[in-house]
Amino acid sequence: MGTSSTSALPIACRQPSDAWDRMTLASIWLLLAAWIGFGISSGFFDPVVALVQRHGWGSNALGPLLWLYVAAGMLVVRTFLWVRYTPADAARFEDAPSITVVIPAFNEGAMVARSIESCAAARYPKERLEILVIDDGSTDDTWVHICKAANRHPDLVKTVRFAVNQGKREALAVGFDRAGGEIVVTVDSDSLIEPGALLAIAGPFRDPRIGAVGGKVLVFNRFAGLLPRMLHVRFVLTFDFLRAAQSVYRTVYCCPGALSAYRASVLRRILPRWREQTFLGAPCTIGEDRALTNDVLAAGFDTVYQRSAIVETIVPHTYRKLCRMFLRWDRSDIREELRMARVVWRRPPLFRLLTIVDMTLSNLRYPVAYAVLAMTVVVVYQDPWTLVRVLEAIGIASLFYTLYYLRSERSWEFVFGVVYAYFSSFALVWIFPYALLTVRNRAWLTR
């Protein structure tokens, strides 16, 4: 199992020095310049382009390569935003706002007690902290562990127990209804927050325009197998790159359930709509975190990322469970992307422009990727050596992206990011099309 504190990590995994930071940033900018100026036009893809032309799929090299130029341009913009990102100052201990931590739990066993303990042990004024734990009709010993934790912290922990399972969204809604804090924080029952996470995540709310704040999610069981190791690199890139870039234009698309905070006054405004959300005539039971983020944005408030608010969460260690998790995420993403297409027009002009460009290119990657995949299959059938070029391209691109990881963590584990690139390219390629075809499926799958 992993550790729950950054200070307990091996030295190689700790935050990099200023010199290392400057070196990785310089490498990223130089390689981006090489990609745009020389890499794409160097002829590396000429054999592929020639075969595409032979089959009448393109009149010249510009068409097949245009997407690479556009993607590179967007990567430059994201990198610029990422470099400009800085986390907000943490709230001061002496005047920190009152906080309610809501922890929904279902068949979590002993792990829920560890989650509660991590919140109770956080550096935060205890007189301004309450912890609400909702047992969502568990059929194992989860309630026993919740009660033991509540007995250890009678002044902090309050409990609610559902007779039957009603779903995570309803469990959260009951917690939100009963929360007394100015800020409401959600923490998953399989996640542990670091001691400074609550002060850190409360900091951005000094700005009255902030409605929600997402924390940084790392993998708790990162040493439990190959899949958790790969997912740890993916999570670092997702949060410390994508969400950091989105935070600069104050439009983080998803504040994660593992650790997020909401202004209570905003929650009270949006709670009825969120609680009763439907899609294609069916009640929404998954993707509650992204839906809630969309509602905050629709209400006219900003959403940001707080790098210094850290939580570690358990991720799947088997292929079957991993696929189920990604299916749930993709189904909710499809639904919420459609909503975001309407919400984005309520954003300020510059934020709106950046969001539209980012969303457009992010969603175009699916038809482009599957069109390229189809062409690659035919091309490789005609010329098997083309597969070597494809594998080389995946490796080069993934090595480049690991530089973003290395800026956050000076660790040899960046190699698992390369492994994940190949794994996702072949083993997870079916996930999005299947999610699209089964988008009305509301099953949690991993519970």
Residues 6+ apart with CB under 8 A from 331: 286, 287, 435, 438, 439, 441
Residue 326 vs residues 131, 202, 320, 329, 444: alpha-carbon distances, Å? 29, 30, 10, 5, 11
Q: Which residue has the tokens 């000429």?
A: 46
For residue 26, is pLDDT > 90?
Answer: no
| Euclidean distance between CA atoms 338 and 253, whole angstroms | 12
Q: For 261-308, what is each residue's pLDDT tens digit?
A: 999 999 999 999 999 999 988 889 889 999 999 999 999 999 999 999
Q: For 153-182, what is each residue's pLDDT tens digit?
A: 999 999 999 999 999 999 999 999 999 999
Q: What residue ranges in 329-396 does DSSP mark as E strands? A: none
Question: What b-and-e string marks burial along 300-323, b requiring 16 or more CB atoms within 10 Å of the CB?
Answer: ebbbbbbbbbbbbbbbbeeeeebb
Structure tokens at 156: 């902090």
Strand partners, 260: 186, 214
Residue 66 vs residues 25, 29, 50, 373: alpha-carbon distances, Å? 26, 21, 15, 16
Residue 417 contacts residue 398 (beta carbons within 8 Å): yes
Residue 202 contacts residue 374 (beta carbons within 8 Å): no
Residue 309 contacts residue 259 (beta carbons within 8 Å): yes
Secondary structure of residue 318 in the 3-state scheme: coil
| Euclidean distance between CA atoms 302 and 223, whole angstroms | 36
Residue 163 contacts residue 137 (beta carbons within 8 Å): yes
Closest C-alpha among 258, 218, 257, 221 to residue 238: 218
Q: Average pLDDT of the chain? A: 87
Instruction: Give the pTM.
Output: 0.88
Helices 46-54 and 349-382: angle between axes, nearest 10 degrees: 70
- Of all residues in the chain, the percent with pLDDT exceeding 70 is 87
Residue 71 vs residues 1, 68, 78, 334: alpha-carbon distances, Å? 37, 5, 10, 21
pLDDT band of 36, cuts 50, 70, 90: low
Q: For 354-394, what is each residue's pLDDT tens digit?
A: 999 999 888 888 887 887 788 778 777 877 887 887 888 88
What domains are there in the chain, each with its CATH number? 1-15+87-447 (3.90.550.10)
* pLDDT computed for residue 54 by the predictor: 55
Strand partners, 216: 310
pLDDT band of 257, cuts 50, 70, 90: very high
For residue 11, is pLDDT > 60?
Answer: no
Q: For 407-430, what is each residue's pLDDT tens digit?
A: 888 888 999 999 999 999 999 999
Closest C-alpha among 189, 197, 186 to residue 121: 197
Strand partners, 183: 99, 263
